[in-house]
Chains A and B, each alone.
Chain A
Amino acid sequence: MQGSKAKKIAVTAAAMLAAVTLAACSSSSSSSSSSTKTTQVKLKTAYNNTGKTNQTATKNGTLKVAEPNDSPFEGISDPVLQDNQEDLDVFSPSGGQPGASDALFNTDKNYKILKGGLANLKLDRKAKTATITLRKNAKWSNGMPVTAKDIEYPYEVIANPQTTSQQYSSDFNAIEGMAAYHSGKAKTISGFSYPDGQSGRVAVIHFSRMAPSMQYAGNTFLWSTVEPYEYIKNVPISKLASSEQVRKKPIFTGPYKLDKVVEGESTSWSPNKYYWGKKPQIKHIVINVVSSSNIDKAIQSKKYDFIIPGGVMHGTDYKELKNTKGYQIVGQPALSYGYFGFNVGHYDTKAQKNVMDKNSKMANVKLRQAMMYALNLDQLNKKFGNGVTWRANTLIPPIFSKYYDKSAKGYPLNIKKANRLLDEAGYKKKGKWRVQPNGKKLTIYFGAMQGTSTQEAEYQDYLQQWHKIGLHVVFATGKPMEMNSFYDTVQKPKQSKIDVYDAAWGLSSEPTPTGLYGTTATYNMGHFVSKENTKLMNEMNGSKSWNTAYRVKIFKQWQQYMNKQAAYAPDNFSYNWEPVNKRVKGFDVSPANNEFWSNLSLTSSNMK
């Protein structure tokens, strides 16, 4: 019953394909798949229904989909303007993949851009250009052709000085003329050219620098959706989000077109006859918001075919639903992770960069490591995660199967080692608690956000574990903080109220972590900066990293390095999972399934 679930963190953008975002409703999930024993269940990304498609049921049937959420969705259909997961979810059938409305590119299982989607991408490192070529039969759901201008218009909307979009990435400044347009100095973006005209099929983007991350969907240099320029050009950009074209009668390029939206409650869809890809099979799709307080009951009483891939489901729901008759659980590791951050510096507002303070309370690496070894994350996740969250061993989640360092140990429970580290670092016991090496009292303030009762139980366990190794750790304000207060505190350029905190990140489908841990990153809220860190992160998108094997190596080095420094330490990973009714055929949530909605069919007219 939290009508007021924390501000949802916006995972947006071409949604699953876009930016990194704050996951406020952090760590209900936790996890670990380190070399130690794992508590993780094994879920498949697809439900392999061997039944035969029932043509009548499919051609006349309605697929019922649930979006678990405690408040009405906002109703913005345009991926450029969306800033929350719910909108992404309820407008999902407008794209080939869930959460990828109007996506330009097809991807493989590592989110690498492939040929064969709405458009193809060609990167020219020498000329520093990205050439995007639309397929010949690319059309909007009202029959209008998709044009080169439609590729460019998202950039105009995102960078317009009066925009409501929250997607402007600092890497966009690498597009020629983008900064000038963004600041209002130029009327157009000079870095775009159209070899066969604006109504043609080709757009060329000119960059001042190129990065290997550009090969992946969700990168911060290229925007990966189209906007129907002709359809919305008369709406001022500042009014776009409230316009009828975006809210009531949007058009899309995906397999389904929107029939109706009931504000805040539901959307209904039917096949888009202009779709360029595989012909959708099911006649209707209806997506309903269902309160998270009764989502389990709704599934158990067979009201829905499945929960929308990407919808928020917890470990407690998994326990309730895993054995539901007629349903199969499908899932893949989420594009998110929980982490612990240590406050080791401040943000220099003049120089606009993070600075480490050698004398800060948490500056000692052994202290940080000891605190991590003291936590019993495996046990906690076993108890509360029900197998769908597990202890994380690194800061890159396993969904990035290439980049994820499976061998990283992370921080399994080791009280002995924790005590030894503290002794070595000079944190001696004086009475009940340890004191600082200089003999002064040591009180560490732990910042955490209010959450479910499970989360709060986990916080209590953290405190107990820290007390076990003699560290006097207390809640920063005496109790978990309201989400706004929490971020208000940790995002201050300099603060001493919180020394260590527990939070989570939602990620884009391109794993470069510079936006979170870079020298200039404002989301580097613990202000950890080091030469080695900067070097590794630059290297991830340096020229050598066009070689994927090299890039993978650098990513793994970075993970090892971050684990050792423990300025940001992994807390938990989780599954993004959903129950699917066994009458559904073709359900596959892998990023490599670029025709998620079109591949679906029904094997019976009633749910099983």
Chain B
Amino acid sequence: MWKVILRRVLIMIPEIILLSILVFLLAKMMPGDPFTGSINPRAGTAEIHHLMRINGLYDPWYQQYWNWIVHLFHGNLGQSYQYHESVANLIGQRAENTLWLSLFTMVLTYLIALPMGMYAGRHEGKLPDTIIRIYTYVTYCIPFFVILVVGLWIFGYVLNWFPTTGSISATASGFSGTILSRFYHMLLPGLLGALFSTVNIVQYLRSEVIDAKRSDYVKTARAKGVPEKAIYRHHIFRNSLLPIAAFGGYSITGLLNGSIFTESIFSYPGMGLLFVNSISYRDYTVITALVLLFGILNLLGTLLSDIILGIVDPRIRIK
């Protein structure tokens, strides 16, 4: 198993290098540059050229790429053109916000979806199953940003139960005050995110449970007189989790992706908005750093998923 993991990690190196070149070139091929449209007209061409020059944007691409790689190995991701701040700092701040919100949403999603999936599978075809299925499909059908806007309107503005903007109150102070304020701010986007993204987990789990219910080992267990509850808990549930575990790796590395909708509607500074903005501002250093980061995370996610699968299911453990 360890050999396989090592081999997979080694293969990732050329993949990452290739990815970095592609990312870099594609970023540069977009029309415009970090200074398009942002320079104020009292500064003439000379100033634009000056800024382009000191930022090395007139160098040939391979030289720019080389500089970038050299800096990268020194742990320097460069300065953001838009924020005038080090890219590492910038991503660090945003990643923290996004991580907490995503983690919170993920935990809530599993807490909601797993029991629902189990229950629906167990009571296949009966009323609760129908209700759960309708629920998952309905939530799946409504565009997410609509949910967010409506949710924010009802619970934030009309009922006034939750804060409506940002990740923390401007006046929060002290350790516990800060933590509580953060949690309070995550509650509404997290709940909405979780309540409306259960479809995958519920459907997979439900169909797995239905399959497992009819399998021989369950019949055997039943024949042996194992109580129904125990059958579900020990035999069916564990086996049915397999496909969900396969997603696990992606879910973990995907925590950093962020959601553009949530972040823009709740004015929550996170990775999703950072990425989109960096593209529209042609903030090359941020674009390349983020795409590379997402790329690496994706590769790791695949690996992690395989490892998790290996752990949960001894049959597919690789030797």
B153 in contact with A9 (CB, 8 Å)? no
Contact indicator A291/B165 (Cβ below 8 Å) = yes
Contacts of A457 in B (CB 8 A): none
Query: In the complex the two chains form, is B83's CB within 8 Å of A74's CB?
Result: yes
Taking CB atoms and an 8 Å cut-off, the chain A residues in 454-503 that contact chain B are 482-485, 487-489, 491
Question: CA separation between A13 and B36, bound complex, in Å?
Answer: 18
A10 part of interface (Cβ distance < 8 Å) = yes
| CB pair B40 A81 closer than 8 Å | no
Verify B42–A171 contact, CB threshold 8 A. yes
Determine the chain A residues whose CB is within 8 A of the CB of B276 once the complex forms.
3-4
- Which residue of chain A has its CB nearest to the CB of B51? A166
**Which residues of chain B come closer than 8 Å to A522, judged between CB atoms?**
41, 44-45, 48
Contact A170/B261 with A5-B280, A265-B269, A294-B152 known, Cβ cut-off 8 Å: no
Contact between B86 and A167, CB atoms less than 8 A apart: no
Asked if residues A297 and B153 are in contact (CB atoms below 8 Å), the reply is yes
Q: How many A-B residue pairs have CB under 8 A?
A: 200
Which of chain B's residues have a CB closer than 8 A to the CB of A288?
A: 165-166, 170, 267
B261 engages A1 (CB within 8 Å):
yes
Chain A residues whose CB sits within 8 angstroms of the CB of B282 once the complex forms = 7, 484
Query: Is A70 part of the contact surface with B, judged by Cβ < 8 Å?
Result: yes
Q: CB within 8 A of B167: which of A11, A265, A505?
A: A265
Across the interface, which residues of B come within 8 angstroms of A76, CB to CB? 84
- Considering only CB atoms, which chain A residue lies closest to B281 in the complex? A7
Query: Using Cβ atoms and an 8 Å threshold, which residues of chain A touch B164?
Result: 290, 294, 298, 303
B312 contacts partner chain A, Cβ-Cβ < 8 Å: no
Determine if A260 is an interface residue (Cβ-Cβ < 8 Å): yes
CA distance A69 to B267 in the complex (A): 8
Contact of B40 among A5, A10, A482 (CB under 8 A): A10
A167–B261 Cα distance when bound, in Å, is 34
Nearest chain-B residue to A486 (Cβ)?
Answer: B37
Within 8 A of A (CB), among B216-268: 260-261, 263-268
Q: Are B165 and A4 in contact (CB under 8 A)?
A: no
Assess A166 versus B36: contact at CB under 8 Å? Given A265-B267, A266-B170, A521-B44.
no
Does B79 lie at the interface of the complex (its beta carbon under 8 Å from any beta carbon of A)? yes
Flag whether B26 is at the interface (Cβ < 8 A): no
Contact A242 B31 (CB under 8 A): no
Q: A260-B170, A298-B164 are in contact. Are A168 and B37 (CB under 8 A)?
A: no
Closest residue of chain A to B166 (Cβ to Cβ) is A265
Q: Let me know if A316 is at the binding interface, CB within 8 A.
A: no
Per-position binary interface string of chain A over residues 360-403, scored 1 when its CB falls under 8 Å from any chain B CB and 0 otherwise = 00000000000000000000000000000000000000000000
Within 8 A of A (CB), among B26-52: 30-32, 35-48, 50-51
Whether the pair B79, A242 counts as a contact (CB closer than 8 A) is: yes
Residue contact A83 to B38, C-beta cutoff 8 Å? yes
Give Cα A464 to B25, complex, Å: 40
Cβ 8 A contact of B170, one of A24, A267, A484: A267
* A162, B134: Cα distance in complex, Å: 61
Please tell me if the beta carbons of B37 and A483 are within 8 angstroms of each other in the complex: yes
Contact of B42 among A62, A260, A300, A515 (CB under 8 A): A515
B-contacting 9-mer, from A14-22, A105-113, A437-445, A600-608: A14-22
A116 CB within 8 Å of chain B = no
By a CB distance below 8 angstroms, the chain A residues around B170 are 260, 262, 265-268, 286-288
A520 in contact with B44 (CB, 8 Å): yes
Cβ 8 A contact of A484, one of B31, B45, B277: B31
Please encode chain B, from 138 to 157, with 1 for each CB lying within 8 Å of some chain A CB and 0 for all others: 00000001000100110001
Least Cβ distance of B38 to chain A in Å?
5
Question: Which A residues are in CB contact (< 8 Å) with B48?
Answer: 522
Cα–Cα distance between A489 and B54 once the two chains are bound (Å): 23
B302 interfacial contact with A, CB 8 Å: no
Contact call A298/B36, Cβ cutoff below 8 A: no
| Chain B neighbourhood of A552, CB < 8 A | none
A4 pairs with B279, CB closer than 8 A: yes
Check B157–A169 contact: CB distance below 8 A. Answer: no
Rounded to whole angstroms, the CA-CA distance of A48 and B224 in the bound complex is 85
Chain A, Cβ-Cβ closest to B43:
A168
A72 contacts the other chain (CB 8 A): yes
Contact with B along A571-592 (1 / 0, CB 8 A): 0000000000000000000000
Please, which residues of chain B bring their CB within 8 A of the CB of A546? none
Give me the interface of B with A, judged by CB distance under 8 Å: 30-32, 35-48, 50-51, 54, 79, 82-86, 89, 93, 145, 149, 152-153, 157-158, 160, 164-168, 170-171, 260-261, 263-269, 272-273, 276-277, 279-282
Contacts A21-B40, A169-B43, A488-B36 supplied; 15 other A-B pairs, CB < 8 Å? A7-B280, A11-B40, A18-B42, A19-B40, A19-B42, A20-B42, A72-B269, A161-B54, A166-B39, A170-B44, A247-B85, A268-B170, A288-B165, A294-B265, A508-B42
Q: Which 6 A-B pairs have the closest CB atoms?
A: A484-B32, A241-B84, A264-B269, A4-B280, A72-B269, A266-B170
